[in-house]
């Protein structure tokens, strides 16, 4: 499987803090790669650096072979990268419909794509004309993900989508992400929820102190409790 996304020696500073200290990894096309690590390991910074929201001071980032580390955020998005931030960042003053209209950059909303999204996020249809700010946390997360998939994307960067959500909502989000995966999407997913990580991940990367300290298959890490404890400080079961 060829690499859709490749990071080589990426270093990022936030102010005077040296956050990413030489990050190297590949995200294979058509697979879901989990990015795990303790709080402060640099997972969110990695996604933001790929997206161009923070500048990579050195190293290279390529998408389908094309260097993107010098591109602006809109240019990176226009090359087919969808981003779901940890904060969800829905536009609360806009309706659900208006949020999705903005996300459909290439033209009007596609009926078939909308029907597919409504299939696993029925709340978005129900609250179609309601202000996004009045939605619950789970519904905002659904909208945030829907915004990223309302048009076909080459790569999805998703940051802790299950954080702070009720178990029932988490289950439906996992089903949604599985469905997105079945459609052949390539996903780089930051996640702390073990159940979600095990269900969704093909590959896994573990970060610590701004570098990748482990890479391999998700199934292998899920089966190796001592390795989990060594890499993450505690077993993945305890992360739930």
Partner 1 sequence: MSEIVATDALPKPKRDIAPLLLPLVLALLMIPLVGSPSSWVTLTVASLAMGMMIFIMASGLTLVFGLMDVLNFGHGAFIAVGAYVATLVLLPLASWAQADSLLINLAVLVPAALLSMGVTGALGLVVERVLVLPVYGQHLKQILMTTGGLIVAEQTLYALFGPQIIPMPLPAALRGSFILGDVAISKYRLLALLIGLVIFVAIELVLNRTKIGLLIRAGVENREMVEALGYRIRRLFLGVFMTGSALAGLGGVMWGLYREQVHASIGDELTVLVFIVVIIGGLGSITGCFIGAILVAMVANYGGFLVPKLALVSNILLMVAVLMWRPRGLYAVTSR
By the rule CB under 8 A, 97 interacts with partner 1: yes
Which C-beta is closer to partner 1: that of 4 or that of 135? 135
Instruction: Please select the residue that binds partner 1; options are 60, 73, 172, 211, rule is CB under 8 A.
Output: 73
- What is the C-alpha separation between 201 and 204, in angstroms, rounded? 7
For residue 71, state whether it binds partner 1 (rule: CB under 8 A). Answer: no
- The nearer residue to partner 1, 89 or 166, going by C-beta atoms, is 89
Q: β-pairing, 56-63 with 81-84? A: unpaired
- DSSP conformation class of 88: -
Assess 94 for contact with partner 1 (CB under 8 A): yes
Q: How far is the CB of 162 from partner 1 (least distance, A)?
A: 20
In angstroms, give the least distance from the CB of 97 to partner 1: 7
Regarding 83 and contact with partner 1 (CB under 8 A), the answer is yes
* Helices 137-149, 111-120: crossing angle, 10 deg rounding: 150
In whole angstroms, what is the distance from residue 73 CA to residue 79 CA? 10
Residue 68 DSSP one-character state: -
Figure out which of the listed residues 40, 67, 74, 164 binds partner 1, where binding follows CB under 8 A. 74
Sheet with 211-217: strands ordered across? 81-84, 155-159, 186-190, 32-37, 203-208, 211-217
- What is the distance of C-alpha 2 from the center of its chain? 20
C-beta of 57 vs 105, nearer to partner 1? 105
Task: Kindly identify the residues of this chain, within the stretch 167-206, that bind partner 1 according to CB under 8 A.
Answer: none
101 binds partner 1 (CB under 8 A): yes
Q: What pairs with residue 216 in β-bridges?
A: 204
Alpha helices in the chain (DSSP H): 43-50, 73-78, 96-103, 111-120, 122-126, 137-149, 167-182, 194-200, 218-223, 225-232
Stretch that binds partner 1, among 1-9, 11-19, 121-129, 159-167 (CB under 8 A): 121-129
Alpha-carbon distance of 203 to 199, in angstroms, equals 11
Asked if 240 is part of the footprint of partner 1 (rule: CB under 8 A), the reply reads no
Q: State yes or no: residue 66 binds partner 1 (CB under 8 A).
A: no
Q: Which two tokens stand for residue 221?
A: 């890490």
Q: Is 93 in the site for partner 1 (CB under 8 A)?
A: yes
Question: How near is the Cβ of 73 to partner 1 at its closest, in Å?
Answer: 4
State the number of binding residues for partner 1 (CB under 8 A): 35
The residues binding partner 1 (CB under 8 A) are 51, 53, 72-74, 77-78, 83, 85, 89, 91-94, 97-98, 101-103, 105, 108-111, 114, 125-131, 134-135, 147
């Amino acid at each position: 499987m060829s690499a859709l996304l490749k990071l080589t020696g990426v270093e990022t500073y936030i102010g005077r803090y040296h956050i990413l200290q030489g990050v190297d990894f590949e995200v294979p096309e058509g697979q879901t790669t989990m990015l795990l690590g303790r709080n402060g390991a640099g997972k969110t910074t990695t996604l933001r650096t790929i997206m161009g929201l923070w500048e990579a001071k050195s190293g290279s980032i390529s998408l389908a072979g094309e260097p993107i580390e010098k591109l602006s955020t809109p240019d990176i998005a226009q090359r087919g990268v969808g981003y779901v931030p940890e904060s969800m960042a829905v536009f609360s003053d806009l309706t659900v419909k208006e949020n999705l209209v903005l996300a459909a950059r290439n033209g009007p909303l596609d009926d078939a794509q909308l029907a597919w999204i409504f299939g696993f996020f029925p709340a978005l249809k129900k609250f179609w004309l309601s202000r996004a700010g009045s939605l619950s946390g789970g519904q905002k997360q659904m909208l945030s993900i829907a915004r990223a998939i309302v048009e076909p994307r080459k790569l999805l960067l998703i940051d802790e989508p299950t954080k702070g959500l009720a178990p029932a909502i988490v289950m439906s989000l996992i089903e949604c992400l599985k469905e997105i995966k079945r459609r052949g999407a390539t996903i780089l997913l930051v996640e702390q929820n073990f159940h979600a990580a095990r269900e969704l991940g093909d590959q896994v990367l573990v970060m610590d102190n701004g570098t990748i300290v482990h890479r391999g298959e998700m199934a292998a890490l899920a089966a190796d409790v001592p390795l989990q404890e060594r890499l993450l400080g505690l077993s993945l079961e305890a992360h739930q």
